Amino acid sequence: MDLTHAQAALKKYFGYESFRPLQSDIIQTVYNKHDALVLMPTGGGKSICFQIPAVTLDGVAVVVSPLIALMKDQVEGLNANGIHAAFINSSLTGEQIRDVENDLLAGYVKLLYVSPEKLVSQGFQPLLKRLNISLFAIDEAHCISAWGHDFRPEYTQLKFLKEQYPGIPVIALTATADKLTRKDIVTQLGLDDPAIFIASFDRPNISLHVRSGQRRFEQIVDFLKQHSRQSGIIYCLSRKSCESLADKLNTKGFRAAYYHAEVPPAMRSKVQEDFINDRIPIICATIAFGMGIDKSNVRFVIHYNLPRNLEGYYQEIGRSGRDGLPADAMLFFSYADVTSYREMFEQGEASAEQKELKIAKLNRMYQYAEAPVCRRKTVLNYFGENYDHNCGNCDVCQNPPRQFDGTVSVQKALSAIIRTEEKVGMNLLIDILRGSQRREIFENNFQQIKTYGAGKEYTFEDWLFLISQMLHTGLIEIAYDDHSRLKVTEEGKKILYEGKKVNLALPQPKAKPEERTPRAQEKSKTQVMREELFERLQMLRRTVAQQQGVPPYLIFSDATLVEMAEKRPLTDADMLQVSGVGERKLQLYGDAFIEAIRKFVLEKTGEGSRVTGSTQLVTWDLYKKGHLVEEIAEMRGVSTLTVISHLATMYERGENLDIRQWVSPEECDIIQGALPLFEEPYQMKAIHEHFNERYNYDKIRFAIADMRRGR
Ligand code: ADP
Ligand code: ZN
C-alpha cells in the first residue's frame, strides 16, 4: 500500500485535497507495520491518521475509545462518508452486538470501535481471534497513565494486544503532551520501538483573551451580542453558578442551558443533544461537559472562573474551532477564584506533595492570566514547545502593554496597607485608595489615613491590575491563613522606604468592544452576500439533519459551508472541489445544496446584483420553465447565439439537455474531429470557415460543449 492510495481515499471519502503536516508520515508508518505514538492537539486531525489506513488496508481496524458518546459520533461520521464502521460497547443490546459481529465476520466492517473494558474482556477474545485485523488504534491513549487526568484502569490491560498480535501495528493517539504520560503510553502498551510524532500544539485559529473578572456578566452579554447564533460553552466553577448564569442569560434573551454532574442523566443527555444539534447555542457547564463532544463548530469557550491549571484550560478551549475557522477563548479571572481553589485543595484528601503540585500549577495558571506577555507564547512554552514570536491573535499582542515607572503608585498602595496595619484585603484596599464611601471604611476610620483617596486617577479595575502585578512580582503577598489580608514583603519595603524603583505594565484603557472587532467595520457587498448564503446553507443543513436524525455538523462542517458560500458551486464538479465534500456526501446532499445555491444566485441576480456564473443560470432557469430559445433571447435582450452559448455552458457543467435538437451525433463527430486543428479558446468563426460554412454556430458551439463535457 502506498500513499497515492491514501491520497485518493482522502479525497474520495472525506473530500479533502491534501494531508496536514505529519498525517501522511503517520499513515506511511502504519503501512510499514510499524508502531506509532501520535501527539496532536484536539482538532489537529488525529482520526484521519488511522481512518485512512483502515479504509485502504485489507481487514478491519480495531479502535479503542473510552467514551461511548464519542464512539457513536465517530461511527456516524464515518458512515455519513460512506465508510462502513461500527461500534461495540455497553450501550448496545445483545442482538445489536450479534448484528455487528455478523458484519465483522462477513468482512464488511472497515473500522470497529470498542470500549477498553469490552476489548479486554474474556468474552471478546474468540471474536477478536477470528478477525482479519489491519491495525489497532488506541485513542485518548493518555488514559493509560495514572499521572494523567483521565486515568482509566482498563487501559493498563491493553498490553495484551502487542503480546498476542505482535505483527499488527498499534497506533496510540493523544492530545495530552507531557513527557511522563508519553513514556507511560509506550511502556504500558509495550510498543515496539514506536515512531513518535509530535505536532505543534498551537491552535492558531483560536483567539486568546483574558479579562479581569469584574462585571463579568455584562462583559459576557456584550460578547454574546456580538456572537449571536454561534455555539459556545461557558465553563463555571460551581454547579450553582452554572444554573444562575444560564438563568440570567435566558432573561436577557439568550438561549442557554446548564450542565453539571448533579443534573439527572436524562436531562444531561438532552442538553448535550440540543447543543450538538444546534438547538441550544450556549451551555453553562462545569468541566464535566465537553469531554465526549466532537462538535466541530463550537465558536467560543468562555471561562467564567479561572481554570485550575493550564492543561485543563488548554484542553477546554481546544473544544472550540475544531473546524479550523476562527474561534474565541475568553478567560475571566479574579483573586476570589484563586482563593477558593486553595481552600478546595487544602481540604482535599490528597497528600501534601500532591497539594503542593496542585498549588504550583494553579499559580502557573494565574501567572498566565496575569503576565502581560503573548498568551500563546506563554502557554506553548509551558507545554515545552519553543514558541518564540508574538502570535498576533491574543489580547496582549493586539493591545501590547506599555511599561511605566509605577513607583509612586506602588508606594501609595504599600503605604495604605501599612497604615491600615495590614488588615485589609484587596478590594477594601482599592476602595480606600479610590476614596470610596463604603461602610467598612468609616467603621474602621480608614478615611482618616493619609492615603485615603490618593489613588483616584485609576479605576477599580486598573488598581486590580496594578496590585496583581505587585503580587506577582513579590512586593506584597496574600495571607491565605489570615482572611486573605495583604502583607508587605521585604521587597515591598525597599520600595516604600528606600525609594527603589519599579516598572509596571500600564493599565490599558478599556477599548469599546466594537472598536476591536472587524465585524463593526463596513462590510463589503460580497461579504454580506456570503454571510447571507452561509446562513441559508446552515438552515438547509439543519433541516436535512433533522430529517436524518443526525447532528448538523455530520452533514457538512461549518468550514465546508463557508467555502460553499464563497465559491457558490453550481454543478457537481464544482461541488466536489469544495473541501469536505467527498463522493458520498455529494451523492447524498449535493443536489439539495446546489439547488439552494442556485436559488440564491437567481434571486440575487433578480435583485440586480452581479453574480459570477449567474447569467447562464438565469437562461437555464427560463429554459427549464419551458421557454424557447428565441423567447429567452427576447426576454433577456440578448442574441439567440448568446442563449445557445449559455445552454451549452450549462451542458458542459453536467446539466441534462438533449443537444440532438441542435446537432446530430454524426455532425458532432465530424466537428469534434476537426477541433484538434484549432486552439482553445476556440474561434467559432475560424471553425465555421474551416467547414465552408456548412455547420452553423449553434452546431459548432454544442459540439464543443459535448467534447468538454466528456473530458
Ligand atoms: P482530533 O481527533 O485530532 O481532535 P479530528 O480528527 O476530529 O481531530 O479532525 C479535526 C477536523 O479537521 C475534522 O473536521 C477533520 O475532518 C478535519 N481534518 C482532518 N484532517 C484534515 C485534512 N487533511 N484536510 C482538511 N481537514 C482535515
Ligand atoms: Zn499573542
429: CA distance to ligand 1 center in Å? Answer: 50
pLDDT for 234 equals: 97
Q: Are residues 210 and 320 in the same domain?
A: yes
CATH code at position 302: 3.40.50.300
Distance CA 44, CA 176 (A): 12
Q: Are residues 500 and 541 in the same domain?
A: no
Mind spelling out the 3-state secondary structure of 246-305? Answer: HHHHHHCCCCEEEECCCCCHHHHHHHHHHHHCCCCCEEEECCCCCCCCCCCCEEEEEECC
Query: Residue 226's closest CA among 295, 286, 302?
Result: 302
206: CA distance to ligand 2 center in Å? Answer: 11
Residue 42 within any structural domain of the chain: yes
Q: Are residues 117 and 233 in the same domain?
A: no
**What atom in ligand 1 is closest to the CA of residue 44?**
3
Residue 39 within any structural domain of the chain: yes
Pocket probe mutation, ligand 1, options 7, 11, 13, 16, max atoms within 8 Å of Cβ = 16
Q: Are residues 57 and 170 in the same domain?
A: yes
48: CA distance to ligand 1 center in Å? Answer: 7
Residue 420 within any structural domain of the chain: yes
pLDDT for 332 equals: 95
CATH code at position 468: 1.10.10.10
Classified as helix, coil or strand, 207 is strand
Ligand number, closest to the Cα atom of 208? 2
Residue 649 within any structural domain of the chain: no
**What atom in ligand 1 is closest to the CA of residue 40?**
3
Burial class (CB in 10 A: 0-12, 13-18, 19+), 58: exposed
Ligand number, closest to the Cα atom of 378? 2
297: CA distance to ligand 1 center in Å? Answer: 12
301: CA distance to ligand 2 center in Å? Answer: 17
374: CA distance to ligand 2 center in Å? Answer: 4
**What atom in ligand 1 is closest to the CA of residue 559?**
14
Specify the pairing of strand 36-39 against strand 170-174. parallel
Distance CA 558, CA 553 (A): 7
**What atom in ligand 1 is closest to the CA of residue 42?**
4
Sheet strands (E) in 420-575: 476-479, 485-488, 503-505
Query: Residue 488's closest CA among 502, 474, 505, 468?
Result: 474
Structural domain containing residue 249: 206-336
Distance CA 479, CA 567 (A): 60
Pocket probe mutation, ligand 1, options 12, 47, 75, 317, max atoms within 8 Å of Cβ = 47
Q: Are residues 178 and 235 in the same domain?
A: no
271: CA distance to ligand 2 center in Å? Answer: 34
Distance CA 233, CA 307 (A): 14
Q: Are residues 244 and 149 in the same domain?
A: no
49: CA distance to ligand 1 center in Å? Answer: 9
597: CA distance to ligand 1 center in Å? Answer: 26
**What atom in ligand 1 is closest to the CA of residue 46?**
3
371: CA distance to ligand 2 center in Å? Answer: 12
C-alpha grid cell, residue 294: 466532537
Query: Residue 461's closest CA among 655, 283, 218, 222?
Result: 218
Residue nearest to atom 26 of ligand 1 (CA): 16
**What atom in ligand 1 is closest to the CA of residue 18?**
23
pLDDT for 514 equals: 40
373: CA distance to ligand 2 center in Å? Answer: 7
Pocket probe mutation, ligand 1, options 26, 48, 173, 563, max atoms within 8 Å of Cβ = 48
Specify the pairing of strand 476-479 against strand 485-488. antiparallel
Residues 6+ apart with CB under 8 A from 632: 619, 622, 623, 643
Residues 6+ apart with CB under 8 A from 198: 39, 177
Ligand number, closest to the Cα atom of 202? 2
Query: Residue 369's closest CA among 336, 397, 331, 338?
Result: 331
Q: Which residues of the chain have pLDDT under 50?
A: 511-520
Pocket probe mutation, ligand 1, options 7, 14, 198, 295, max atoms within 8 Å of Cβ = 14
Q: CA of 186: how far to CAs of 29, 67, 171, 315, in Å?
A: 16, 21, 10, 22
Ligand number, closest to the Cα atom of 44? 1
Q: Are residues 330 and 449 in the same domain?
A: no
Residues 6+ apart with CB under 8 A from 66: 115, 116, 139, 140, 143, 150, 152, 155
Of 198, 220, 255, the residue that ends a domain is 198
pLDDT for 522 equals: 61
Of 303, 321, 336, the residue that ends a domain is 336
Residue 590 within any structural domain of the chain: yes
C-alpha grid cell, residue 180: 511522563
311: CA distance to ligand 2 center in Å? Answer: 18
Residue nearest to atom 16 of ligand 1 (CA): 45
**What atom in ligand 1 is closest to the CA of residue 294?**
7
**Residue 612 backbone phi and psi in degrees, to 5:** -55, 140
Residue 647 within any structural domain of the chain: no
Residue nearest to atom 27 of ligand 1 (CA): 45
380: CA distance to ligand 1 center in Å? Answer: 21
Residue nearest to atom 15 of ligand 1 (CA): 45
Q: Are residues 210 and 190 in the same domain?
A: no
The b-or-e profile of 375-388 (16+ CB within 10 A means b, else e) is: bbbbbbebbebebe
Q: Are residues 313 and 447 in the same domain?
A: no
pTM over 0.75: no
Residue nearest to atom 10 of ligand 1 (CA): 43
Q: Which amino acid is at 297?
A: N
The secondary element (H helix, E strand) that includes residue 427 is helix 426-433
CATH code at position 589: 1.10.150.80
204: CA distance to ligand 1 center in Å? Answer: 15
Distance CA 593, CA 561 (A): 10
Contact 434, 463 (CB under 8 A): yes
Residue nearest to atom 5 of ligand 1 (CA): 45
Ligand number, closest to the Cα atom of 395? 2
Residue 709 within any structural domain of the chain: no
Contact 647, 680 (CB under 8 A): no
Q: Are residues 14 and 149 in the same domain?
A: yes
Q: Are residues 458 and 579 in the same domain?
A: no
155: CA distance to ligand 1 center in Å? Answer: 25
208: CA distance to ligand 2 center in Å? Answer: 8
**What atom in ligand 1 is closest to the CA of residue 49?**
6
Residue nearest to atom 24 of ligand 1 (CA): 16
Ligand number, closest to the Cα atom of 74? 1
pLDDT for 149 equals: 63
User: How many domains is the chain partitioned into structurally?
Assistant: 4
Of 603, 635, 666, the residue that ends a domain is 603
Q: CA of 54: how far to CAs of 2, 130, 203, 473, in Å?
A: 13, 18, 27, 53
Ligand 1 pocket by Cβ (under 6 Å): 16, 19-20, 23, 40, 42-48, 296, 322-323, 557, 579
Ligand number, closest to the Cα atom of 49? 1
Q: Are residues 128 and 257 in the same domain?
A: no
pLDDT for 241 equals: 94
Residue nearest to atom 19 of ligand 1 (CA): 45
Residue 312 within any structural domain of the chain: yes
Ligand number, closest to the Cα atom of 175? 1
Ligand number, closest to the Cα atom of 139? 1
Pocket probe mutation, ligand 1, options 322, 560, 577, max atoms within 8 Å of Cβ = 322
20: CA distance to ligand 1 center in Å? Answer: 9
**What atom in ligand 1 is closest to the CA of residue 296?**
14
Residue nearest to atom 18 of ligand 1 (CA): 45
